[in-house]
Amino acid sequence: MRHPHRRVSTRIGRSVVALATVAALPSAVAAQPALAAPPAPPANAPYLNPRLPVSKRVDDLLRRMTLEEKVGQMTQAERGAVDENRDQITELKLGSILSGGGSAPADNTPEGWADMVDAYQSKALATRLRIPLIYGIDSVHGHGNLVGATVFPHNIGMGATRNPGLVREQQKITAKETRATGPQWIFGPCVCVVRDLRWGRSYEAYGEAPGLVAEMETGIEGFQGRRPGDMKRPEHVLATVKHYAGDGDTVFGSSTTEGYTLDQGVTVTDRRTFMKVNVAPYVTAVKKYRVGSVMPSFSSVDWKEDGVGNPVKMHAHKELLTGVLKGKIGFDGFVISDWAAIQQIPGDYATQVRTSVNAGVDMFMEPYSAPQFVETLLAEVRAGRVKTSRIDDAVRRILKAKFELGLFERPYTDRRYAKTIGSPAHRAVARRAVAESQVLLKNRGRALPLKRNEKIYVAGVNADDMGNQAGGWTVTWQGQSGDIIPGTTILDGIRQYSKNVTYSEDASAPTAGSDVGIVVVGETPYAEGVGDVGNGHTLDLSDADKANIDTVCTAVETCVVLDVAGRPQIVTDRLAKMDAFVMSWLPGSEGAGVADVLFGKRPFKGRLPVSWPRSEDQEPINIGDRKYDPLFPYGYGLRTRGGHRH
The predicted pLDDT at position 645 comes to: 43
- In sequence order, the 6+-apart residues with CB closer than 8 A to the CB of 586 are 141, 153, 154, 156, 157, 203, 469, 470, 471, 564, 565, 566
Q: What is the rounded CA–CA span in Å between residue 360 and residue 393?
A: 9
Based on the residue annotation, tell me whether 528 is a catalytic residue of this protein. Answer: yes
pLDDT for 33 equals: 52
Active site annotation includes 465: no
Residue 2 pLDDT class (50, 70, 90 cuts): low
Report the pLDDT value the prediction gives residue 228, as an integer from 0 to 100.
84
pLDDT band of 8, cuts 50, 70, 90: very low
pLDDT of residue 1: 60
Q: Enter the pTM of the model.
A: 0.94
Q: What is the pLDDT of residue 37?
A: 79
The pLDDT of residue 6 is above 80: no
Q: Please give the pLDDT value at position 35.
A: 62
Q: Report DSSP state, residue 542.
A: P
3-state secondary structure of 238: strand
What is the C-alpha separation between 340 and 262, in angstroms, rounded? 19
Q: Please, is 641 exposed, middle or buried when counting C-beta atoms within 10 Å of its C-beta (0-12, 13-18, 19+)?
A: exposed
Burial class (CB in 10 A: 0-12, 13-18, 19+), 425: exposed
Q: At residue 362, what is the residue type?
A: D
Q: Which helix (H) or strand (E) holds 272?
A: helix 271-274
Residues comprising the chain, all counted: 646
Is pLDDT above 60 for 224?
yes
- Residue type present at position 170: Q
CA distance 460 to 455: 17
Q: Beta strands 185-186 and 134-137: pairing type? A: parallel
Lowest mean pLDDT among 21-35, 337-351, 579-593: 21-35
Distant-in-sequence, close-in-space partners of 286: CB < 8 Å, separation ≥ 6: 325, 329, 330, 331, 333
What is the CA 42 to chain-centroid distance, rounded? 41
pLDDT tens-place string over residues 394-407: 999 999 999 999 99
Selecting among 249, 302, 528, 532, the annotated active-site residue is 528
Which H, E and C letters describe 432-456, residue by residue?
HHHHHHCEEEEEHHHCCCCCCCCCE
325: DSSP letter: I
Phi then psi for residue 121, to 5 deg, are: -60, -40
Contact status, residue 194 vs residue 248, Cβ threshold 8 Å: yes
CA 115 to chain centre: 24
- CA 568 – CA 610 distance, rounded (Å): 8
The answer to whether the CB of 631 falls within 8 A of the CB of 531 is no
Q: What rounded mean pLDDT belongs to the chain?
A: 94
What pLDDT is attached to residue 96?
98
Domains of the chain, with CATH numbers?
56-419 (3.20.20.300), 423-618 (3.40.50.1700)
Q: What mean pLDDT is predicted for residues 292-301?
A: 98
> Taking 80 as the threshold, does the pLDDT of residue 322 lie above it?
yes
pLDDT at position 25 over 50:
no
With a cut of 60, say whether residue 16 has pLDDT above it.
Answer: no
Q: pLDDT value at position 449? A: 98
Mean pLDDT across the stretch 201-210? 98
Q: Which helix (H) or strand (E) holds 285?
A: helix 280-287
* The pLDDT of residue 641: 79
Provide the 10 A C-beta neighbour count for residue 624.
10
* Averaged pLDDT, 475-500: 98
pLDDT, residue 31, reads: 45
**Percent of the chain, pLDDT > 90?**
93
Q: Where are the beta strands (DSSP E) in 297-420?
A: 300-303, 312-313, 334-335, 364-365
461: left (phi over 0), alpha (psi -120 to 50) or beta: alpha
pLDDT of 538: 98
pLDDT of amino acid 24:
38
Q: Is the dihedral of CA 392, 395, 401, 404 positive or negative?
A: negative
pLDDT digits (tens, 9 = 90+) for 576-619: 999 999 999 999 999 999 999 999 999 999 999 999 999 999 99
Packed helices 388-404 and 349-359: angle between N→C axes, nearest 10 degrees: 70
Provide the H-helix boundaries in 484-539.
Answer: 490-497
Over the Cα atoms of the chain, what is R_g? 25
User: Quick one: pLDDT at residue 486?
Assistant: 98
Rounded CA separation 99/77 (Å): 9
Residue 34's pLDDT is 52
- Using a 10 angstrom Cβ sphere, with 0-12 exposed, 13-18 middle and 19 or more buried, the burial of residue 610 is buried
The answer to whether residue 252 scores a pLDDT higher than 80 is yes
3-state helix, strand, coil in the chain (%, to 5): 40, 15, 50
Q: What is the pLDDT of residues 508-554, one digit of tens each?
A: 999 999 999 999 999 999 999 999 999 999 999 999 999 999 999 99
Q: What pLDDT sits at residue 370?
A: 98
Rounded mean pLDDT, 351-359:
98
**CB 93, CB 72: distance < 8 Å:** yes
Mean of the pLDDT values across residues 371-379? 98
**pLDDT reported for residue 36:** 73
Q: Return the closest-CA partner of residue 278 out of 297, 254, 261.
A: 297
Residue 146 CA to chain centroid, in angstroms? 15
CA-closest candidate to residue 184, choices 271, 117, 103, 248: 117
Active-site entry in 91, 215, 302, 338: 338
225-249 pLDDT tens trace: 999 899 999 999 999 999 999 999 9
Summarize pLDDT for 169-186 with one digit per residue, the tens: 999 999 999 999 999 999
Separation of alpha carbons 464 and 490, rounded Å: 6
